[in-house]
Amino acid sequence: MKKDNFRTYRNMVTSLCRKGKKDYFEVMIAESKNSNTTLWRVLDRLLPCSKGRKLPNTVEYEGTEYDDMKGMAEAFNKHFVSVGRKVTEGLSSESKGRAKSRQGIRTKFEFRTISREEIEKELNGLNIKKAMGIDSLPPRVLKAAAPVIAGPITHIFNYSLESGSVPRLWKKALVTPIHKAESMIKPDNYRPISVLPILSKLLENVSTIN
């Protein structure tokens, strides 16, 4: 095959591949318009991105530089927990007055008893691809063990709703700082992604339905 012919056919194949890829993703995006999860899965395949999230070697917070993992983690933690306070401080006195006036409003409601069948249904409906929390219990295991653990979990959930308390571990989240833009050494340029334990989110779901 002559060199010119090779280039012609190579360009033709490249063009057809690009068109086929474009048509494929157009169809996939159109079919995913009613499901955010599916849509983001398609976009994740389409958009170029680096595998694994990289953190900077140094983080600067309140005039101090941290270059060790523990120091950087504490800097990010201090920044993220301070966001709510900063937002509150930025509110006008009128907004604070309206919020304070609502504190006197009391709404009484009671949770009904959750059944074992409800919990087993929720466990069987878990998405096994979801990330596990700090308790290291993956959804795949919880789903597989649903017939066995549904009873004990039902008891824990009902006791939690009756007593108004939640297991301490279920309140803890694995927080990952995601860089947004600009300087990577400034915690202000990151947003937190929190992953709670699966059972914590399950309790929230049944409470909402309740």
* pLDDT tens-digit map of 19-57: 888 888 888 888 887 887 777 777 777 665 545 556 788
One-letter amino acid for residue 64 of the chain: T
* 3-state secondary structure at position 81: helix
- Phi and psi dihedrals of 116, rounded to 5? -60, -35
Q: What is the pLDDT of residue 156?
A: 95
In the chain, beta strands by DSSP E: 59-61, 64-66, 174-179, 190-195
Q: Alpha-carbon distance 164 to 173, whole Å?
A: 20
Q: What is the pLDDT of residue 51?
A: 52
Q: Alpha-carbon distance 206 to 173, whole Å?
A: 19
Q: What is the pLDDT of residue 159?
A: 94
Q: What percent of the chain has pLDDT over 70?
A: 85
Q: Alpha-carbon distance 15 to 30, whole Å?
A: 23
Q: Alpha-carbon distance 192 to 77, whole Å?
A: 9
Q: What is the pLDDT of residue 202?
A: 93
* 3-state secondary structure at position 125: coil
**List of the chain residues with pLDDT < 50:** 50
Encoded tokens for 34: 């009613």
Q: What is the pLDDT of residue 148?
A: 92
Antiparallel, parallel or unpaired: β 174-179 and 190-195: antiparallel
Place of tokens 């308790």: 135
Residue 75's nearest CA partner among 55, 97, 93 is: 55
Residue 60's nearest CA partner among 191, 185, 179 is: 185
Q: What is the pLDDT of residue 22?
A: 83
Per the DSSP assignment, residues forming a β-bridge with 176 are 193
Residue 183's nearest CA partner among 89, 59, 64 is: 59
